[in-house]
Structure 1
């Protein structure tokens, strides 16, 4: 059984974050991160002895005990259910359970995937890689738009530079959260691995496969 699973069993048994951290030699932030990322939940009061009301206690008469009057979660989720589509409301509730560092990590992965995909879509074969696009058809003649190789390469380099700048800023934010103690060992290792991969693609040639847009002139 993994360390995290053992900690989860102790959490279900009612142990506090500090007690779990001391037992397994990890930080309290690591325990909290496990809870958020793996959605640990336990029944409220399951680890406590139920206390009965004192004899002749009339304070609870006429008061419902199931839902507190000032339960803001019910109000908030009620607003979601009223004004948001069901799919969006579920996403909002799922995001609420995530830690800021995990949300940032998912955005980093999305941006990195887009950069990798662009290597293939925007690849320019050589200086003769000319793209011809059919833009207008008329009785007299057809009109084409031509994009030279240098124009496509320049557009690719500019787009890649902007995307890499955004990615690097996101990685810096992630590292700041790590230094602030908001990351566990697994989260620290994954950003180190990603940084190595990002460095490796900066000077690598794009994939040899390319997507070209060619439009032949329609026959009369």
Structure 2
């Protein structure tokens, strides 16, 4: 048997629409004694923004023009002319910002601060994990040659730039450390402002455990000199070893 629909679901939507779509979702949650995350879920699933007038039917009077009347001549009907600013929520911004930027700003209006920070956490975490593959150093002999100049004529010559294993690894470690610090700061902000019952807090445990593992591997050779012994230890740990090559 299907579970009965929560009556607060419709009440929450009505409260938001009656406020001209300005009442914060946190305030609605407080009035209905619900979790903010639950209100956000209802808002998304029920498409509040698109269905605000779905139950309203307006009976309009009809007017007829005399035959030959030119009032509507060349009027194709439909939407306002391209570039018209009448329906813009962010009219001032729309004069200077691209349409896709305006769309992002409009989406942000419907999100709580915790939602915005959570989005940044996801992006930063994804970048850290993706960097493991992009900046991976195969072994101590891993060398990259990049052509920086193409020679022309008899006197011309090609030029190349070489990146050695320890240089690539050092750059990776520095970038990774900065990324970890940024992620740590975002997590602290989220924990500070998110609702105590926010289910996303549980997901942070998985992110923290994964980043702790990455930090442990990074610390293994952080600040090392150009000595391939430590580099080989890091590679051993990444492959499941303990870093002890002796």
The TM-score bracket by the shorter chain reads 0.5 to 0.7
Structure-2 separation of matches of 1:2 and 1:151? 60
Match of 1:149 in 2: 165
2:114 alignment partner in structure 1:
101
Paired residues in the alignment total 172
The answer for unaligned runs of 5 or more in structure 2 is 17-27, 56-86, 218-233, 240-246
2:9 maps to 1:8: yes
Unpaired segments of 5 or more residues in structure 1?
47-73, 209-220
Q: 1:18: Cα distance to partner?
A: 4.6
Report 1:28-177 matches (<5 A): 29-30=36-37, 33-34=40-41, 40=48, 77-138=90-151, 139-140=154-155, 141-177=157-193
What is the RMSD computed on CA atoms of the aligned residues?
3.5
1:177-200: CA deviations, max 9, x gaps?
Answer: 13xxx3543222222332223223
What is the distance in 1 between the residues matched to 2:170 and 2:42? Answer: 47
Task: Answer with 189-198 or 6-15: which moved more.
Answer: 6-15
1:71-103 deviations in whole A, cap 9, x for unaligned?
A: xxx885222333333222221111111111011
Give the superposition deviation at 1:124: 0.8
CA contact (8 A) 2:12 2:39 kept: no
Q: Which has the higher contact order (CA 8 A, sep 6+)?
A: 1
Q: 1: CA distance between counterparts of 2:113 and 2:4?
A: 23
Q: TM-score, normalised by structure 1?
A: 0.62
> Distance between the aligned counterparts of 1:5 and 1:118, measured in 2?
44
- TM-aligned CA deviation for residue 134 of structure 1: 1.7
CA–CA distance in structure 1, aligned partners of residues 127 and 42 of structure 2: 30
1:118 CA displacement: 0.9
Per-residue deviation, residues 14-43 of structure 1 (Å, max 9, x unmatched)? 69645632xxxx45x455554666664685
Matched-pair contact (CA < 8 Å) for 2:145–2:161: yes
TM-score normalized with structure 2 length: 0.57
Q: Is the 8 A contact 2:13 2:43 kept in 1?
A: no
